[in-house]
């Protein structure tokens, strides 16, 4: 019973934190350290895919419009930018994971620092973006740098993929919060599905399927999807009239608390 509760709690944590700019990977590692148990890479990526499914459902009309009306120059340009951004992340991901054998940190300290630094960066970035004219257009520099930002967030857990991509877009040219958020979320859809597919193929290739707790994975996936749907719906309404500053303050407070309370090496 406690195992099921832990899985549900992890799904809730993932659903809330995946798209809020506070780092889902960081929160999952913190949850593990606080006693919710170590999970496989496939489980962690799988419940992230549940959150991505929620965003897919929320944006399905926009996605359908882009795919069915791709002959329209504006839609075709947007699709190409999404594709380029995704390809940059994928290429960098292959280099980092396959050639450099990247592994996530096993301690909370680097995540705590990433939370603190990222929080201050968010405050500064939003202030800088607020001084720019309100622009909703996604330019090519935005598309390229958002692709790089996704990979940076993957290398440094605690950075937050949504935070890195949204604020990169806002600083580089898409100063409108809603437009920057939409592009960041849409480019995250193929990225996370690809990451889940990669982990699944790796598990099957290594013969680890028999050892994977598939019921826990499915449960976490469903819980994450439901919670993320609610969280993203709320966030999209919130950012129409509010800044991201409360999330930055939360990141800083959590990071400082972790550095203060967690023993070195934890």
Burial 176-210 (b: 16+ CB within 10 A, else e): bbebbbbbbbbbbbbbbbebbebbbeebeeeeeee
Token digits of residue 251: 């990141």
DSSP 212: S
Compute the average pLDDT of residues 128-135: 89
Please check the confidence at residue 264 and state whether its pLDDT lies above 60.
Answer: no
Residue of 177, 199, 236, 192 lying closest to 24 (CA atoms):
192
Distance CA 198, CA 57 (A): 22
Distance CA 249, CA 123 (A): 9
Residue 227, Cβ density class (10 Å: 0-12 exposed, 13-18 middle, ≥19 buried) = buried
Please check the confidence at residue 63 and state whether its pLDDT lies above 60.
Answer: yes
119-123, 146-150, 157-161: range with lowest mean pLDDT: 157-161
Q: pTM for the full model?
A: 0.88
Compute the average pLDDT of residues 121-138: 91
Token digits of residue 227: 């919670």
DSSP 36: I
Please check the confidence at residue 265 and state whether its pLDDT lies above 70.
Answer: no
């Amino acid at each position: 019973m406690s195992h099921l509760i832990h899985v549900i709690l992890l799904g809730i944590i993932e659903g809330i934190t995946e798209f809020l700019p506070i780092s889902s990977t960081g929160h999952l590692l913190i949850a593990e350290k606080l006693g919710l148990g170590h999970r496989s890479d496939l489980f962690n990526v799988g419940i992230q895919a549940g959150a991505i499914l929620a965003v897919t459902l929320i944006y399905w009309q926009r996605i359908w419009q882009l795919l069915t009306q791709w002959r329209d120059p504006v839609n075709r340009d947007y699709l190409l930018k999404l594709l380029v951004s995704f390809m940059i992340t994928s290429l960098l991901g292959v280099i980092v994971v396959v050639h450099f054998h990247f592994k996530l940190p096993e301690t909370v300290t680097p995540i705590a620092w990433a939370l603190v630094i990222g929080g201050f960066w968010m405050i500064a970035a939003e202030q800088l973006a607020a001084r720019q004219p309100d622009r909703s257009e996604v330019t090519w520099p935005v598309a390229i740098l958002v692709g790089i930002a996704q990979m940076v967030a993957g290398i440094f857990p605690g950075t937050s993929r949504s935070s890195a991509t949204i604020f990169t877009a806002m600083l580089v040219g898409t100063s409108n919060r809603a437009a920057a958020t939409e592009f960041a979320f849409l480019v995250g859809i193929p990225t996370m599905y690809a990451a889940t597919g990669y982990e699944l193929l790796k598990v099957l290739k290594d013969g680890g399927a028999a050892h994977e707790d598939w019921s826990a994975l499915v449960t976490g996936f469903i819980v994450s999807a439901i919670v993320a749907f609610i969280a993203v719906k709320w966030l999209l309404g919130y950012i129409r009239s509010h800044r991201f500053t409360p999330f930055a303050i939360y990141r800083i407070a959590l990071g400082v608390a972790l550095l203060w309370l967690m023993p070195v090496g934890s």
